[in-house]
Amino acid sequence: MRIDILSLFPEMFTGVLGSSILKRAQEGGHLSVGLVNIRDFSNNKHRTVDDYPFGGGPGMVLKVEPVISAVESVPGDPHVILMTPQGRPLRQERAHELSELEHLLIVCGHYEGIDERVRVLLQPEEISIGDYILTGGELPAMVLVDAVARMLPGVLGESAGGEDESFYQGLLEYPQYTRPQEFRGLVVPEVLVSGHHEKVDRWRREQAVRRTWERRPELLREAELTKEDRRLLAELNQSKPEKE
């Protein structure tokens, strides 16, 4: 997969792209990332890319010309994404769908906003990572790249490496333990050291359903639930204390 990122601050991506899974994904040939500085496409000697908004108001607006020129400098026919709090919230299933595309181009907004004509001309997919405001689109872009890259075949090193993680099947992940088996009176559940793989799988599934019910019950409306899952949920709902 190829991902090109348009940003006013491409240097912000150096540490993220040069570390951990993203670094290994690139070294293994699974991912190629290009960084484009929007300032390089400014049409004045001061390399300014923003201006005051028509109609007045606080802050500055990212200009249409340098953004469009930067996009047009990227070869190919990429799927264009604009990181913006106005976009649809990023979900695991969308990250998986995007990982199946060959080429993404991510535009990082900045300042008070971006000239609306960028949206009209590019018709980008707009993605948000949450209902809050950040200084720019760089951090959200990093989140998106990481979420997509780990879905690429071979990146995690194991075919099922990410399938048990939170949200992959619509449920939160089950509790995880490692050595030592006992720490300050807290002991690893006996089933996990029993060597009985079927019981371990059943316990993990039950814990995932239970944890989702406790922490993110709205996810259960779209999760892929088995008959056993539904039986457990019925029991949990019956045991839930009534509100006074």
Whole-prediction pTM: 0.89
pLDDT of residue 37: 98
What would the two tokens of residue 45 be?
Answer: 């000697």
| 38/103 Cα distance (integer angstroms) | 19
Residues of the chain with CATH 3.40.1280.10: 2-149
Mean pLDDT calculated for residue range 73-91:
97
Question: At the fourth CATH level, which superfamily is domain 2-149?
Answer: SPOUT methyltransferase, trefoil knot domain (3.40.1280.10)
pLDDT of residue 166: 65
Residues of the chain with CATH 1.10.1270.20: 182-239
SS3 82: strand
Domain 182-239: which CATH number of 1.10.1270.20, 3.20.20.140, 3.40.50.300, 3.30.230.10: 1.10.1270.20
Length of the chain counted residue by residue? 244
Mean pLDDT calculated for residue range 46-71:
95
| 100/152 Cα distance (integer angstroms) | 8
Q: How confident is the model at residue 159 (pLDDT cuts 50, 70, 90)?
A: very low
